[in-house]
């Protein structure tokens, strides 16, 4: 079980992040800190593995807080979730070895993907065998091949969502509409259609018009 602390001064955003975290198996949210000074109480009470940390806190910069925590609790890791885009802040976070840096307003699917990558890395550290360069690449981040695959995706197409759409569609025996895929995906029909049409353009899916008894024909998607 990975213990996560959310450090965010906007309680509404903190609540959203907590719901996302609680939807991921293996994650336990130990609490929310609305001020930097509140973090120390959580750290003293129990083990904190990962902190979701905003930089612009009302009583202290998150980057300064991170350095202090690292000094006292070196095993604690960080994912920065912030509106800060200053180059020097980003460089400082990279130098401190943060796991990831997400700019607000964040894509919640992206947040979930980053958390799952963190879980995979921790599982490899704790239970996996480091037998070759591929294993080491997995520890330190994506391989060059994975980065290249992400870089070639068009704007508006997220790798994790694309993978989920593929998973929904690849074993279909009957066609599905964008609305039906969206319901399974937990996304809008427009979002689902964007991914489905991308997969059609890649030759992964094919689309056909089906005419019902009444109304307009429906565009349905099938594995190619």
Q: Is residue 145 part of a domain?
A: no
pLDDT score for 163? 79
Domain span including residue 182: 159-223
DSSP letters, 150-213, are HHTSPTT--HHHHHHHHHHHTT-SS-B-HHHHHHHHTS-HHHHHHHHHHHHHTTSEEEEEE--S
Taking only the tens place, the pLDDT of each residue in 190-207 is: 999 999 999 898 888 889
Q: Lowest-pLDDT range, 16-20, 61-65, 106-110?
A: 106-110
- 168 contacts: CB under 8 Å, gap ≥ 6: 176, 181, 184, 185
pLDDT score for 129? 62
Question: 7 with 62, same domain?
Answer: yes
Q: Which residues of 187-212 are buried (b: 16+ CB within 10 A; e: fewer)?
A: beeebbbbbbebbbeeebbeeeeeee
Q: Is residue 12 part of a domain?
A: yes
Q: Is residue 55 part of a domain?
A: yes
Q: Is residue 149 part of a domain?
A: no
pLDDT score for 143? 47
Question: 94 with 172, same domain?
Answer: no
Across the range 16-42, mean pLDDT stands at: 94
Q: Is residue 86 part of a domain?
A: yes
Q: How far is residue 214's CA from residue 71's CA, in Å, rounded to a whole number?
A: 68
The residue among 110, 140, 170 that closes a domain is 140
Q: What percent of the chain has pLDDT over 90?
A: 39
Number of other CB atoms surrounding residue 1 within 10 Å: 9
Query: Which domain CATH number covers 191?
Result: 1.10.10.10
* 126 or 162, greater pLDDT: 162
23, 38, 86 from 41: Cα distances, Å? 25, 6, 30
Per-residue pLDDT band at 8 (split at 50, 70, 90):
very high
Question: 100 with 57, same domain?
Answer: yes
**pLDDT over 70 (residue 90):** yes
Domain count, the chain: 2
* 19 or 186, greater pLDDT: 19
Task: Decide: 95 and 106 in contact? Cβ < 8 Å.
Answer: no
Question: 16 with 62, same domain?
Answer: yes
Question: 19 with 122, same domain?
Answer: yes
Per-residue pLDDT band at 144 (split at 50, 70, 90):
very low
Average pLDDT value for the chain: 84
Find where tokens 């796991």 sit.
99
Question: 20 with 61, same domain?
Answer: yes
Query: Which domain CATH number covers 122?
Result: 3.40.50.2300
The residue among 105, 140, 175 that closes a domain is 140
Question: 132 with 24, same domain?
Answer: yes
Q: How far is residue 49's CA from residue 30's CA, in Å, rounded to a whole number?
A: 10
Task: Decide: 5 and 35 in contact? Cβ < 8 Å.
Answer: no
Across the range 105-127, mean pLDDT stands at: 84
pLDDT score for 134? 61
**CA of residue 103 relative to chain centroid, distance:** 12
């Amino acid at each position: 079980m990975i213990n996560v602390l959310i450090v965010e001064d906007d309680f509404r955003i903190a609540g959203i992040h907590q719901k996302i975290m609680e939807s991921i198996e293996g994650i336990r949210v130990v609490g929310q800190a609305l001020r930097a000074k509140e973090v120390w109480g959580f750290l003293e009470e129990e083990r904190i593995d990962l902190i979701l940390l905003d930089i612009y806190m009302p009583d202290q910069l998150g980057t300064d807080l991170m350095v202090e925590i690292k000094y006292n609790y070196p095993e604690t890791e960080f994912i920065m979730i912030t509106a800060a885009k200053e180059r020097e802040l980003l460089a400082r976070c990279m130098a401190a070895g943060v796991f990831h840096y997400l700019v607000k307003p964040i894509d919640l699917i992206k947040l979930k993907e980053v958390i799952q990558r963190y879980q995979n890395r921790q599982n490899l550290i704790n239970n996996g065998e480091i037998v070759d360069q591929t294993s080491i690449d997995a520890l330190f981040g994506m391989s060059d091949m994975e980065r290249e695959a992400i870089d070639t995706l068009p704007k508006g197409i997220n790798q994790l969502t694309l993978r989920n759409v593929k998973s929904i569609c690849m074993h279909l025996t009957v066609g599905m509409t964008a609305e039906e895929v969206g319901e399974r995906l937990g996304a809008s029909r427009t979002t689902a259609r964007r991914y489905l049409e991308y997969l059609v353009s890649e030759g992964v899916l094919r689309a056909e018009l089906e005419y019902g008894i009444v109304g307009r024909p429906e565009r349905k998607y099938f594995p190619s």
